[in-house]
Structure 1
Amino acid sequence: MGNLMQSGSSTDKVNTDSSLKGSEDDMVVVLQDYPLPEISEPIYRMGEKLRLIAQEAYWWRVRSVQTQKENYIPNSHVAKVYHGWLFEGVERQKAEELLCLPGNRVGSFLVRESARERGLYSLSVKHRTITHYRIFRLDNSWYYISPRLTFQCLEDMINHYSDFADGLCCALTTPCLSGTTPPSDASLGAPPVVMRRNFDWKKIDRRQLVSTDSPSDNMVSYGVRNSIADYLSFSGNHSAQTRAESRKKKSKSLYALPDNGLGNIDYDDDF
C-alpha cells in the first residue's frame, strides 16, 4: 500500500492516465444510430461495438465486431472504450441511455471520462434507476468515491466494488454492453442440445457448480454453472468473501481509513 498523503509529480499523473488506455486494441461504441432512421436504414445501431481501424479527421474507419464488415462513421457518433468499462467523452444522459439498453442488468456499470475536462471521471451504475457517483482524485493520484476508501488506480476501484457495494447502490456486476449479441441468421439453425443422463444432485460437489476450470470435465454446463454462481453471489456473503480473497492476490493498493461509517459519497448530479 502506498502512503495516502504522498504527493505525486505531474509526470506520474500523466503516466497513470495513459496506462489506462495504452495496452488494448482500440474499441468504440456507437452512441446513436448511423445513419439516422429517418434518413435511411442504419448501418450501425446505438450500443454496437466496433473495432477502430483508422482515424481520418471527422470520419473514422471501423469494423463491426459481429459482421466483420468495414465502413466509415462520424467520430461524433462513437466513443472509445478501454478495459470494457472506461468510456471516453460520454455525457451523463448518454450513459443512462447506454445502460438502459437490453443486455444490461442490475449492477451493470461504466466509468465515463468527462468530454469537457480530461482526467475527470464518474461511475454510472444500473440499479432501480441509473445512479451516478463522482470519482475524486488526490494529489498523489489515488482515486476515491467515498473518502474512507482510496485506490491507487481505477482498476483497483472497480475490482473492489465488484466484490462489495460498500456504500454504492449495489455491487458492480458486468461492464455496460459486455454481452455480445450474435448476428441474426436463420441459416445458423438451433444450437445442439447435449443431454446428460443419470444426473444426481446429491453426488455433485459444490465446487463443481461454480468452478470454471476444465469445463469439458464438468457435469454441469457453463450456462447453468454461471447462473448458479450468480445466485450464490447474491444469496450470502460467503461468495463475495471468496472473490475478494482471490482479487486480493492481484491487487493490494487499497487504503481504508479506520472508520466504522461508510463515509460521504458524492452523487454525481451535474457531471
Structure 2
Amino acid sequence: MGNVLRPASLETEQACLESTKKEADNTTLVVLRDYPPPDVSEPIYRVGEKLQVLSEEGSWWKVISAVTGNENYIPSNHVAKVYHNWLFEGIVRPKAEELLQLPSNRVGSFMIRNSQTDRGQYSLSVKHRAVKHYRINRLPNNWYYISPRLTFQCLEDLVSHYSETADGLCCVLTSPCLSHNSNLNLTNQPPPVLMCRNRFTWDNVDRSELIKEDAVGNWENDDSLLSFGVRNSIASYLSLSGGQEDKSNKSSRKKKSKSMYGFPMSAENNMIPTEEGYCEE
C-alpha cells in the first residue's frame, strides 16, 4: 500500500534493492533478438523467449529455454536479466514496447526497467491500447512514487498497489511481461488420452421408460450417459409433472439472460501523466 512521506534509512532502501535483485541461484533471461539471426540459420532462441541460466562462461550464457526446453549457448548481448518476473535490466524504451506488444501479453502486462535519462531511476511500461510509460521518481528519503500523493518504500510495494487498483494509471497491472511465455513444455510427456463418447440426444429418450417403476433399477447396468442420480431425478420429476409438457417453457429456456456491464466514468483529472513527452535514446 502507499504511504505518506516519511524518513527512511539508506540501509532499509539498500536492503529492499538487494531483495529485488537476489535471484542469483535462479537467474532468468529474456531474449532481445533472435539467435542465431534468421539470415544465418534457423533461430534456436527467439525474441521474447524466457531462458533459465545454467552457467555463465565469459560473454556467453549456457541456458535452457523455459518455452521449448532447448539447451544451448547464447551471447550475453542478446539477452537481458529479469528479476521477480517484472524488473527488466538494461531494456531501452523501444525494446520494452516491442516485448510488450508480443501476442503472449495481454492488456495490463507490464515491466519496470531502468531509465536511460536518469541514472538510478526507473520507468514503468504498461500494455494498453498502446504501450504507456510512467516515470518512477525517487525521493531524497529513497522512497519511490509515480504520483506524488502516494509513495512506496520499494518497487515490490509499488507493483503490489497498482496490481490492485489503477489509481491513475491507464489500467490495473495484470501480469508481468512475457509471464505466460515461461512454462516449460516437456517433450517426453505421453500423448493425451482421447475419450470417445456416444452422441446423446434427448429426442431419443422414451418417457415411458423413464417413469416406469422398475426403471431406476434397470438403469444400473445401462450403457447410457446419464448417471444414476440424474436418472432418478428425471424419473421423479416426470412422475410428479403427470406428463404435461408446457411448450412455452421450451422457448423461455432458450432465452439467455443479459448481463449488464458498468463502465467507469472518465477520470482524466485523476490520470497520472505518462512519459510520452519525454524521450529516451
TM-score (norm 1): 0.68
Contact 2:13–2:153, Cα closer than 8 Å, also in 1: no
State the Cα distance separating 1:197 from its structure 2 match. Answer: 7.6
**1:141-160 alignment runs, 5 A limit:** 141-160=142-161
Paired residues in the alignment total: 214
Query: Which residue in 2 is equivalent to 1:103?
Result: 104
Are 1:270 and 2:279 an aligned pair? Answer: yes
The one-letter code matched in structure 2 to 1:86 is L
Deviations 1:112-134 (A, max 9, x none): 12467663211100111000001
Q: CA-atom RMSD, angstroms?
A: 3.4
Q: Distance in 2 between matches of 1:143 and 1:20?
A: 14
Q: Closer, same or farther in 2 for the Cα pair 1:143/1:184, shift >3 Å?
A: same
CA distance in 2, matches of 1:113, 1:165: 22
Match of 2:216 in 1: none
Q: Check conservation: 1:161, 1:172, Cα contact below 8 A.
A: yes
For 1:267, the aligned partner's letter is: E
Write the letter of the residue equivalent to 2:17.
Answer: D
* C-alpha displacement of 1:139: 1.6
Q: Percent identity?
A: 51
Where do 5+ consecutive residues of structure 1 fail to align?
Answer: 199-231, 238-260
Question: Is the Cα–Cα contact under 8 Å of residues 28 and 78 in structure 1 kept in the other structure?
Answer: yes
Matched residue type, 1:163 = E
Tell me if structure 1 keeps the 8 A contact 2:8–2:143: no
Query: Does the residue aligned with 1:163 lie in a helix, a strand or coil?
Result: coil
- Bigger CA radius of gyration: 2
* Cα distance in 2 between the residues matched to 1:91 and 1:19: 23
**SS at the partner of 2:113?**
strand
| Paired position in structure 1 for 2:22 | 22
Mapped to 1, the partners of 2:194 and 2:166 lie a distance apart of 39
Distance 2:100 2:195 in 1: 32
Q: Secondary structure at the match of 2:36?
A: coil
CA 1:18–1:194: 2 relative to 1, 3 Å: farther
**Paired residues of 2:86 and 2:111 also in contact (CA < 8 A):** yes
* Deviation by residue 1:163-210 (Cα, 9 ceiling, x = unmatched): 11111111111111111366597x965676799989xxxxxxxxxxxx
Q: 1:264 to 1:110 in 2, by over 3 A?
A: closer
SS at match of 2:151: strand
Structure 2 letter corresponding to 1:107? G
Say whether residues 1:63 and 2:64 are aligned partners. Answer: yes
2: CA distance, partners of 1:114 / 1:189: 46
Give unpaired runs (5+ residues) of structure 2: 198-224, 228-258, 264-268
Q: Which aligned pairs between 1:1-271 and structure 2 lie closer than 5 A?
A: 4-9=5-10, 11-23=11-23, 25-114=26-115, 119-180=120-181, 183=185, 189=191, 262=270, 265-267=273-275, 269-271=278-280
Contact 1:148 1:263 in 2 (8 A): no
Q: Which amino acid aligns with 1:82?
A: Y
Q: Tell me the distance in 2 between the aligned counterparts of 1:40 and 1:149.
A: 50
2:112–2:124: 8 Å Cα contact kept in structure 1?
yes
How many Å separate the matches in 1 of 2:119 and 2:72? 29
Q: Which amino acid aligns with 2:161?
A: H
